[in-house]
Amino acid sequence: MPTPPRPLDATLHGVVDYNMGAFLIAAFPKLAGIQGTRSARQIRLAGAIHAGYSALTNYPLGVVKALPYKAHLGLDAAGAIALAATPFVTGQYRRGTRQWLPHVALCVAELSSLLITDPTGRGDYHGNVEAVRQANAIDPGSKLRNGGPAVRRSAAA
């Protein structure tokens, strides 16, 4: 069974987080035709919270780096489910599909993005460059400059 692709590394996940946060706050309510409603306020709040804890996350695009990456992913999942459940808890779902479908759609989108996220958070350098330097039997800098041309012009082989 091939390993399912997990193309979203921690950096790309961060890009999605901030863009999604901004999108939910600035554009989504209008595009979904729910401007001025309670649903719009709920979705804007979700976007702000999402962007907020992204800034606190310990990943490449985090600002404060206080929240572990896996906890961030857990909040993503919990937040998505909470958002989807909100219209049904408040009863607003009775006022029509526009009062619950956007919440559920956003939940599905968020859970889908989690399915393709690499949960290890290891998209960026996680090697030990000092260990490499100590183990390396060669001085890389000298190989770049010293020794002169390693090739000479010659006839065809």
Partner 1 sequence: MRANVWSGRNGVQVENVPDPTLLNDRDAIVKISSTAICGSDLHLYDGYVPTMKRGDILGHEFMGEVVETGRGVDNLAVGDRVVVPFPIACGNCWSCKHELYSVCENSNPNAGIAEKMFGHPTAGIFGYSHITGGYAGGQAEYARVPYADVGPFKIEDDLTDEQVLFLSDIFPTGYMGAEFCQITGGETIAVFGAGPVGQFAIASAVMLGAERVIAIDEYDYRLQMATARAGATDAINFSENADVVEQLKELTGGRGPDAVIDAVGMEAVSGHGVVHAVDRVKQAARIESDRGAALRDAIMACRPGGIVSVIGVYGGLMDKFPTGAFMNKGLTLRSGQCHVQRYIKPLYERIRKGDIDPSFVVTHRLELGHAPDGYETFKHKQDNCVKVVLKP
Q: How far is CA 8 from CA 55, 113, 120, 135, in A?
A: 18, 8, 11, 32
Q: How far is the CB of 3 from partner 1 (least distance, A)?
A: 6
Nearer to partner 1, 89 or 152 (CB): 152
Q: Is 138 in the site for partner 1 (CB under 8 A)?
A: yes
SS3 for 112?
Answer: helix
Binding of partner 1 by 64 (CB under 8 A): no
The rounded distance, in Å, linking the Cα atoms of 109 and 130 is 41
Residue 138, Cβ neighbours under 10 Å: how many? 7
| Residue number, 30 or 133, with CB nearest to partner 1 | 133
Among 112, 122, 124, 125, residue whose Cα is nearest residue 20: 112
Q: Does 128 bind partner 1 (CB under 8 A)?
A: yes
Q: Is the dihedral of CA 43, 115, 113, 120 positive or negative?
A: positive
- 150 near partner 1, judged by CB under 8 A: yes
The amino acid that residue 141 corresponds to is G
- 108 contributes a contact to partner 1 by CB under 8 A: no
Interaction of residue 60 with partner 1, rule CB under 8 A? no
DSSP structural state of residue 38? H
Residue 38, token pair as written in the block: 């309670």
Is 143 a residue that touches partner 1 (CB under 8 A)? yes
What is the x/- site pattern for partner 1, positions 11-40, by CB under 8 A? -x--x-------------------------
State yes or no: residue 153 binds partner 1 (CB under 8 A). yes
Binding site for partner 1 (CB under 8 A): 1-3, 5-9, 12, 15, 116, 118, 120, 122-129, 131-133, 135-138, 140-141, 143-145, 147-154, 156-157
